[in-house]
Amino acid sequence: MSSHGEQASNHWHHPVFSSEPVTLLKSTFQAHASAFAPSEISGTSSSEAIDILRDHLTSLSPRNKRATHFMYAWRTVESQTTAHKSPRSKDGSATSSSQKTQPVISVGSSDGNESGAGERLLRLLELAKCENVIVVVYRWYGGVKLGSDRWKCISGTAKESLSKGGFIGPSAQDNNGTQGRRNKTDSDQRRKKK
């Protein structure tokens, strides 16, 4: 365990929501989602917060340490207030200033030696409009290359963990392709009835 996990003030403060493990051709995938706010952990950067989460996940399941791939993406949204001065009036006197609040979005991801996985997970968070969340996907490689089927496992487990944590609502799931699968299932059932 790293020094982050040993410090009382630097432990993971949020619940972790896990998908069920999915196994395909001897490879197993499992995702975990949690609230993510590095600023809540005194004096830590996002990479240090990820190390703390990784240590926490390993303490929950030592098997995670043996995973072949550790892919993740995070997205935070914070409000930033900026002061705006109104332009001077025609007589040259200053007018009132106002404050404007706008969201500041920060993102990060890692492929974890699964080329393109971090970007795909980040895209999932963006499409689902997830805020202040991290999703981590572990893969234990089973010796058989999965090709594009690995993306279904990565995305499916990530969506499940985000849904369990309440980070994705039902409407967001529909916007991310779930509806399309439902329609395909309906048409498959109609074909079977004929």
pLDDT per position as a tens digit, 90-137: 666 655 666 777 777 888 899 988 889 999 999 999 999 888 899 999
DSSP class of residue 136? E
Are the beta carbons of 99 and 124 closer than 8 angstroms?
A: no
* pLDDT of amino acid 72: 93
Q: Which two tokens stand for residue 119?
A: 């970007």
* pLDDT of amino acid 173: 45
Average pLDDT, the chain: 76
Beta bridge partners of 17: 33
- Cα–Cα distance between 80 and 100 in angstroms, integer? 8
* pLDDT of amino acid 161: 94
Spans of the chain below 50 pLDDT: 1-9, 171-194
For helices 149-164 and 117-127, give the axis angle rounded to 10 degrees: 40
* pLDDT of amino acid 95: 59
Strand 27-35 relative to strand 133-140, pairing: antiparallel
Alpha helices by DSSP H, 102-178: 117-127, 149-164, 170-173
Q: Which two tokens stand for residue 163?
A: 């849904």
- Spans of all domains in the chain: 3-81+98-186
* pLDDT of amino acid 7: 37
* pLDDT of amino acid 73: 94
Q: pTM of whole model > 0.75? A: no
* pLDDT of amino acid 50: 86
With residue 139 as reference, give the H or E element that holds it: strand 133-140
Protein fold of 3-81+98-186 = Ribosomal Protein S5; domain 2 (3.30.230)
